[in-house]
Structure 1
Amino acid sequence: MEKALLATLEGRNAKVGALSINHLFPNRYVHAIGPFVLVDQICPAGNVPGDPPSEAGKHAHPHRGVATFSYILEGEMEYADSYGNRATAKAGDAHWLMSGKGILHEEIPPNTPQGHSLHAVQWWINLPATVKGDTPVYMFLDQSHFPEIMLPDAAGTAKILIGQIGNDTSPVPVYNNHFICHLRLHPGAKYTMPVEKRYEYAVFVPSGEAIVNGQKQGASRLSVFDFGGDEIAFHNEAARATDILLFGGASQNEPFVTQGPFVMNNREEIADAYRDFFDGKYGSITYSYNA
């Protein structure tokens, strides 16, 4: 039985520097999907200017109590943090950060030449209270780190970004039975995916279109499913391959508050997070450039 579709939601557009961001949620209809408390799409953009060395650090910001997962669809995204981690993710790669008790980081595009594009999606994952005080951990994930399985009837592939399918498991730590799967369906292909009745699910098509449970899913819109039902059916009617991002997990059983870059269990902890940031307890990012 197919999961019932609750709603298909438009995002909210915003500018962050030279980037156009599509804030998919939270909004007044959806506060969380499993432990996911925010999803942003960095909309496709060519000729994105990188920052000169004199402006290094202007995009640096803190996080606490949340894990962030940035998945690159096109282009490149550079990462640096106050624990000395630094990496550049290209198409198919990802940055994962467990911010724990607090960290300062920056994710910025290098210069993106005309004719090339930057396109990425970032998820915020609420951490259990028992993990919010842990030492931050960063992982750079090359595309080869993600298991990719062939779908039945040569329908396409499923890349496991977070979570598990069968015996294949992503190396990204999981705290709340959550998952992200990148489906790529071949032209004309159909695939029905078995899912958990008791979990919360959402589908996002970053570009193009797909048919999800018999309904057209347009680009840059978020579809949210009800509980019950044990499958979701996908169909690509287009003449080229299409990408579909499926994510979700178990409902949260702890209260949480999101404010700015922090996700904590109550407003007192939010106040503590800001106080520690202003007191410089999250450190600083060291920048060095060749002359």
Structure 2
Amino acid sequence: MMKIDIPTMRTQMSEGDQKRDAGLTEPDTITAIKELTYGPHGIENKFDIYYPVGTTTCLPTIVSIHGGGFFYGDKELYRFYTMYLASQGFTVVNFNYRLAPTHHYPAPLEDTNTLMNWLLIHGKDYYVDTERLFLVGDSAGGQLAEQYSTLTSNPDYANLMDFTVANVHFKAVGLNCGAYFIGQTDAINQDFPFYFGETISEQTAKQFPVESYITADFPPAFITTATHDFLKDVGEPLANIIRSKGVAADFHLYANPDGEELHHVFHLDQRNPIGKQCNEETLTFFRNFL
């Protein structure tokens, strides 16, 4: 079973993220409602809502699930990316969730679900349109977005959980550089023991691989990866499974035109023209389902 040094990994990932975002400023074209609370778990249940300045009516709404290997990340690291999405005519929800190893599976899914229930009750006060919801996620967040979309589209799968899945439906989902097919060939805690724990309950084992529960009701999916993404090999197989159910699934392997390496979660870099292209094409895909 793989072991990782989580403190060291967090430090290294933070250094990379700070370098990526150095010098960026929040746009003055966005209204940002910050530090809202959707659940009982303190800072890990804080979230922000963004929408264009001058908004007076509910807009199509994107909920973003951040990445970070299930043990790292927060909404602050995603604010420039999600504010860009908001600048294109959407309300965007950017939230924290409980992280491993302090919190094990399914804590992030439970938190995502708690957030959805909050939005159903309070969203209209912040120009959230729960009838026109989209979901995006990358890396671990891509896996969570895939899994939560499966929960909301397959009642039999939802019945395997200890929580009641919110009554939401996603018009489409954007899955970027995600960690799919957990449990397809190895025990689900093979690569993520800090997330699933050293032992797996029978109930949890039944919930994987997620892909076996994807149905024709799964939302249309825009699936992206990059030439040097260490998870690039699982993107197209996921797209093929979704297509096999009769659901639209666009798969894109992005590359730098000069052949320079293009890495994991490249779309978060607001200075990267290929990342910008990816985000623009994701939103174009979403608009097809409004």
Higher RCO (C-alpha under 8 Å, 6+ residues apart) = 1
Instruction: Indicate the structure (1 or 2) with the bigger Cα radius of gyration.
Output: 1
Higher relative helix content: 2
Fold in common (TM above 0.5): no
Structure 1 or 2: larger strand share?
1
